Amino acid sequence: MRQRFIDTKKRLYRWMKYRLTRPAPPPLPFDIKGPVVVVGSAPRASRPVGLDGGYAIITVNGSQAVAARWGIEVPDITMMMFNQIEGTTHNAREVRRVLGGRRTRALYVLLWRKSERERLERGLASFDYRYDHLYIVDRYERMALLDKVAGLHSLEIDAESKCSNGINAVLYALHHGAPAVIISGIDPGSAGHAYNDAGLARLHVRMDLIILQRLLDAGRPIFTADPQVARATGIPLWDEGCAQRVTGRAA
């Protein structure tokens, strides 16, 4: 009973704050003109057909290590959860290990306190992670992204009501006008991460599938580079025909 009261109070507070503040989704410091590849950390991630310098790359947490295997050293955008900066879990330590000494063009740290930016900068410097632009994304900006792109309202009370960072990256790319969004290494049916051997289960699977299906039903230009994901989810497979149609260039 007490927990139900706490959750109800939290829902009311978040809904009122969201309605009153009317937050905007996270900004973009440069234009996106070509297809966007969102690189996740699932153990199997395929390089998209036709990938070249005209594509924008978004990595999530430690998936920059996957993009590096494709020869992409500096992604355009990186989304990172707050707990990767100072966390003591095996996964957080592994994220810092694979990102140490690397850089990105624009870094978005989710759910870090905006009043503690200097602490964030020190934390990033501690594992020598560099960036041209740094943004802190709060809960309400993330809620706005889901609302404006997918037409869904989530007050993020528990894990089941949240989507993964990879899906947040998909929503972000669509919001900023990507002509196509290609996911690679984002597989709701998988476990584990490409950059460690912990085999951790994936959270937010149900919400991710709901959002992906809603976007597909709305005709949004979402594709996957991973054949097994295309077979399991019905997301169209990015192939030579898609690449030529969207970019105007032969793959």
Tokens 């969201």 belong to 18
The whole-angstrom separation of Cα 27 and Cα 23 is: 11
C-beta of residue 66 within 8 angstroms of C-beta of residue 185? yes
Domain tally, the chain: 1
Other Cβ atoms within 10 Å of 147 Cβ, number: 17
Predicted pLDDT at 19: 87
Write the CATH number for 23: 3.90.1480
> Which phi and psi (to 5°) does residue 57 adopt?
-120, 125
Work out the angle at residue 145's Cα, subtended by the Cα atoms of residues 238 and 206, and round it to the nearest 5 degrees: 65
Domain that holds residue 176: 2-247
In this structure, are residues 116 and 89 in contact, taking their beta carbons and an 8 Å threshold?
A: no
**Alpha-carbon torsion angle 188, 191, 197, 198, nearest 10:** 110
pLDDT of residue 190: 57
The pLDDT tens digits along the chain (251 residues) read 677 767 788 888 888 898 899 999 999 999 999 999 999 988 889 999 999 999 999 999 999 999 999 999 999 999 999 999 999 999 999 999 999 999 999 999 999 999 999 999 999 999 999 999 999 999 999 999 999 999 988 777 666 668 899 999 999 999 999 999 999 999 876 554 444 454 455 556 888 999 999 999 999 999 999 999 999 999 999 999 999 999 988 76
Q: What is the pLDDT of residue 197?
A: 56
